[in-house]
Amino acid sequence: MALDQIKEWTFYMQAAQFVIMIAGFIWVALSNKQKANTAAIEDLTKVTATAISDLRKDVDEETEKLGNRITKLETKLEHMPGHEDLGDIHSRVNEAAQRLTSMEGELKQMNNTMHLMHQHLMNRGEKS
């Protein structure tokens, strides 16, 4: 081998070494970036999972509260009067109103009678 061929092979070896070193640098940079992305994704996954878990707890608690409220309302509705019961109550209220009207008329008559008796006693039997 001649000196020129050795210099030529040395140049090619240095060029190949440079290309391999650049490729290794790029591979290391991309690998580190991928590791950083993977770590960021894992952190985000943990934070998201925690947030979702907290939201589920809150939703479950609110759902339970609403379920309890609905149960109380249903219990109260069971004991409320129905359509027929309201009809009976209406009839009884009407009967009471009629009796009250009748008693009002009787009280007016009694008041008129007492007024006449009062006038009679005030006038001592004299006609006005």
User: What are the tens digits of pLDDT across the range 60-100?
Assistant: 999 999 999 999 999 999 889 888 999 999 999 999 999 99
| Shared-domain flag, residues 71 and 90 | no
Q: What angle do CA 24, 27, 32 make, to 5 degrees?
A: 125
Confidence of residue 20 (pLDDT cuts 50, 70, 90): very high
The last residue of a domain, from among 76, 96, 111: 76
Are residue 71 and residue 94 in the same domain, yes or no? Answer: no
Domain limit, last residue, from 52, 76, 100: 76
102, pLDDT greater than 60: yes
The number of folded domains in the chain is 2
- Domain coverage including residue 97: 86-128
Cα angle for residues 27, 30, 34 (degrees, 5° grid): 135
Cβ(81)–Cβ(89) below 8 Å:
yes
Same domain, 118 and 94: yes
